[in-house]
Amino acid sequence: MRRGGSMMFRFRTQEPRGLLSLAQGGAQSPIFFAFEVFDGRLYFVYDFGSVTHRKPLFDRRVDNGEWHDVRTVGPQRSHPILILIPNNLNL
């Protein structure tokens, strides 16, 4: 994702585990970020060059067959990536 870019995706699943989205640098670059469902919960996984991090986005399950929207904004100078979860996740 380039500086100031954004990405939005919509998904629904009944599977408790799966990869939803993956973006990575060039062939020799360790830089990547991904969204995955693990044990029914949405995670943001990223490595911007040093250590891989795996962060749960919230405690609610997303493997309920309902539609869910996720929007990312960034990177910016003050934060690498901002993740906005719309109201349809009922947080």
66-90 pLDDT per residue, tens: 888 887 776 655 555 556 555 555 4
Instruction: Give the global pTM.
Output: 0.74
Position 48 scores a pLDDT of 79
What do you get for the CA distance between the two ends of the chain, in Å?
26
Query: 23: left (phi > 0), else alpha (psi -120 to 50), else beta?
Result: beta
Residue 89 near residue 60 (C-beta atoms within 8 A):
yes
For residue 48, give both structure tokens. Answer: 């911007």
What is the tens place of the pLDDT at every residue in 22-60? 888 777 777 888 899 999 999 989 887 788 889 888 788
Could you tell me the CA-to-CA distances from 79 to 18, 68, 75 in Å, in that order?
27, 24, 6
For residue 23, give both structure tokens. Answer: 């973006």
